[in-house]
């Protein structure tokens, strides 16, 4: 048995045109009648952007509504004044969707952060948009339930932002995206109307489901002001394996073998250089051998049977030479330690200001796509370090291109943007998507037409016009 049980203790900043008439002093005059506002330089730089680094933070101010009525009043006021509004949650987005670079008024939902109701019969929680993801998860867990949408930014992301971007994360293979867990949604449209959508119903066959139009719309159609989220039973004793896989071509053979016999809750890939960066920050290296690729697999193992199955699969794959080593967790603490190898990649490499691609292809196309992408990226980035990691079981790969320290940021961004154009063309050949889960925001809109047809984009624009005729909600995001 080779499986050991782990013992671990603006260069591309583009201006879009939209109405803007207010200046900071006027904001201070008008907004306090509606809700608290801030215009000090520190707040402007903090609330003016998300975790993406390509765009400057230049809002005019930040409004902090505390009630739905105040959000409605803000939207009415913005329509009268032709003032652009940018919604702001935990600002953990990676696509510039919550960036205000052109004097917009940021609308922060951090003061609308209350859990309003827990319904044990419906297995649901109704809450305001500013509730932190982890607060929601903990609240559910304290009552014996589980909110399964999860990702590394759980400690600061907010439920409103998760819904606005249809957040995915590490458990999508089993539980799906945020969309699957939203049974009710209150939104304030760009016209300042309040819509109460689906009202927590499980079944509701009454025509178009507008709820799903607002989920993932990145704050361009309406602002989410309340949500009802569904819960499920907590997973029983999740176990984690990390396997060392030498050949890219074998990655999905491992996936097929495990998925056929176990109910997987995660199937993640990361490359040797990701492991090196994470280990350099102090996360224990679990292997004596080194390998080009690593897979993290999670499944429930309430009895011995699933783990026995996993060990048998591991041994078969070992005999076939598809994996060369593996570790398994035996406790929750060990499972968390193994997850650090994957979840700490973003933080461990943030210092290199990575240019991020977040792509998806149909799961069956992963290996040929990755082989073609590898050819493209090795040819176009011979002198840059490129990280591959992500939710490979969903067909979703994150590509992080690290900026060499001496290289000017805007030159780096321009070069990466040009390569992204080629990547987008390749994705189109594979029926892929230029954004799997981070959203289009500002960073991907130049490539939208490789994933969505011109006819589709026309319909998106028409929908925007219907819900936000004056174009005041998060203008310039997704498309111009």
End-to-end CA distance of the chain: 57
Question: Residue 2 Cβ, how far from ligand MLT at the closest point, in Å?
Answer: 29
**Site for ligand MLT, residues 391 to 450, rule: CB under 6 A:** 398
Q: What is the per-residue burial (b if ≥16 Cβ within 10 Å, else e) of 450-460?
A: bbbeeeeeeeb
Residue 40 C-beta: closest distance to ligand MLT, Å: 30
Site string for ligand MLT, 5-24 (x = CB under 6 A): --------------------
**348 vs 473, beta carbon nearer ligand MLT:** 348
The DSSP code sequence of 461-479 is HHHHHHH-TT--BSTTSS-
Tokens at 241, concatenated: 């394996």
Nearer to ligand MLT, 64 or 255 (CB): 255
Residue bearing tokens 């790969």: 397
Counting every residue written for the chain, the total comes to 480
Min separation Cβ 465 and ligand MLT, Å: 31
CB closer to ligand MLT, 71 vs 423: 423
The count of residues interacting with ligand MLT (CB under 6 A) is 6
Beta bridge partners of 299: 239, 264
Q: Which is nearer to ligand MLT, 346 or 451 (CB)?
A: 346
Binding mask 182-221 for ligand MLT (x = CB under 6 A): ----------------------------------------
Q: Which of 3, 8, 12, 152 binds ligand MLT (CB under 6 A)?
A: 152
Torsion of CA 213, 421, 100, 91, to 10 degrees: 70
Q: How far is the CB of 344 from ligand MLT (least distance, A)?
A: 9
For every residue of 83-143, DSSP letters joined together read --EEEESS---SSSTT---SSPEEEE-TT---EEEEETTTTEEEE-TT-BHHHHHHHHHHT
Comparison of 143 and 281: residue with beta carbon closer to ligand MLT: 281
Q: Rounded to whole angstroms, how far apart are CA atoms 70 and 89?
A: 16
Tokens 């029926």 label which residue? 431
Which residue number, 94 or 221, has a Cβ lying nearer to ligand MLT? 94
The answer to whether the beta carbons of residues 186 and 226 sit under 8 Å apart is: yes
What is the per-residue DSSP string for 246-312? --GGGHHHHHHHHHHHS-EEEEEEEEHHHHHHHHHTTPPP--SS--SEEEEEEEE-SSHHHHHHHHH
Give the nearer residue to ligand MLT in terms of CB position, either 179 or 261: 179
Residue 346 touches ligand MLT, criterion: CB under 6 A: yes
φ, ψ of residue 471 in degrees (nearest 5)? 65, 35
- Which residue number is nearest to ligand MLT in terms of Cβ? 346
Shortest distance (Å) from residue 360 CB to ligand MLT: 12
- What does the per-residue mask of binding to ligand MLT show for 360-399, with x meaning CB under 6 A? ------------------------------x-------x-
Nearest residue (CB) to ligand MLT, 174 versus 398: 398
Closest distance to ligand MLT from the beta carbon of 398 (Å): 4
Tell which positions 64-123 bind ligand MLT, by CB under 6 A: 94
Query: Strands 85-88, 105-108: parallel, antiparallel or unpaired by DSSP?
Result: parallel
Q: Residue numbers of the site for ligand MLT (CB under 6 A)?
A: 94, 152, 346, 356, 390, 398
């Amino acid at each position: 048995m080779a499986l050991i049980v782990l013992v671990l203790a603006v260069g591309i900043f583009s201006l879009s045109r939209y109405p803007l008439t207010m200046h900071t002093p006027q904001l201070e005059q008008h907004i306090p009648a509606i809700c608290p506002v801030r215009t000090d330089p520190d707040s402007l730089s903090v609330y003016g952007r998300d975790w993406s680094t390509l765009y400057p933070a230049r809002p005019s101010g930040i409004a902090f509504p505390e009630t739905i009525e105040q959000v409605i009043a803000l939207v009415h006021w913005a329509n009268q004044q032709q003032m652009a509004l940018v919604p702001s949650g935990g600002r953990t987005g990676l696509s510039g969707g919550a960036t205000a670079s052109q004097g917009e008024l940021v609308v922060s939902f951090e003061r609308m952060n209350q859990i309003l109701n827990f319904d044990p019969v419906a297995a649901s929680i109704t809450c305001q948009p500013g509730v932190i993801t982890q607060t929601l998860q903990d609240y559910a867990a304290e009552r014996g339930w589980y909110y399964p949408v999860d990702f590394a930014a759980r400690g600061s992301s907010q439920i409103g932002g998760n819904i606005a971007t249809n957040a995915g994360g590490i458990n999508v293979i089993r539980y799906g995206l945020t969309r699957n867990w939203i049974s009710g949604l209150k939104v304030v449209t760009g016209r300042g109307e309040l819509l109460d959508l689906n009202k927590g119903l499980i079944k509701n066959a009454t025509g178009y489901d507008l709820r799903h139009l607002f989920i993932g719309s990145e704050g361009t159609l309406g602002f989410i002001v309340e949500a009802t989220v569904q819960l499920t039973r907590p997973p029983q004793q999740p176990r984690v394996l990390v396997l060392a896989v030498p050949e890219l071509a074998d990655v999905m053979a491992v996936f097929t073998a495990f998925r056929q016999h176990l109910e997987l809750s995660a199937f993640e890939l990361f490359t040797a250089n990701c492991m090196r960066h994470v280990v350099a920050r102090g996360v224990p290296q679990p292997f004596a051998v080194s390998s080009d690729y690593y897979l993290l697999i999670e499944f429930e193992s309430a009895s011995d049977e699933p783990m026995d199955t996993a060990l048998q699969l591991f041994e078969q794959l070992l005999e076939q030479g598809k994996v060369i080593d593996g570790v398994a967790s035996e406790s929750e603490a060990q499972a968390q330690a193994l997850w650090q190898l994957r979840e700490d990649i973003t933080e461990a490499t943030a210092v290199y200001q990575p240019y991020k691609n977040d792509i998806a292809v149909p799961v069956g196309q992963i290996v040929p796509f990755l082989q073609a992408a590898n050819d493209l990226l090795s040819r176009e980035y011979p002198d840059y370090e490129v990280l591959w990691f992500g939710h490979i079981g969903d067909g979703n790969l994150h590509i992080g291109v690290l900026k060499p320290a001496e290289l000017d940021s805007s030159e780096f961004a321009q070069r990466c943007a040009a390569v992204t154009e080629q990547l987008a063309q390749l994705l189109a050949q594979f029926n892929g998507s230029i954004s799997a889960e981070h959203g289009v925001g500002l960073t991907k809109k130049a490539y939208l037409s490789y994933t969505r047809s011109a006819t589709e984009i026309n319909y998106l624009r028409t929908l925007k016009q219907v819900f936000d005729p004056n174009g005041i909600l998060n203008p310039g995001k997704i498309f111009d």
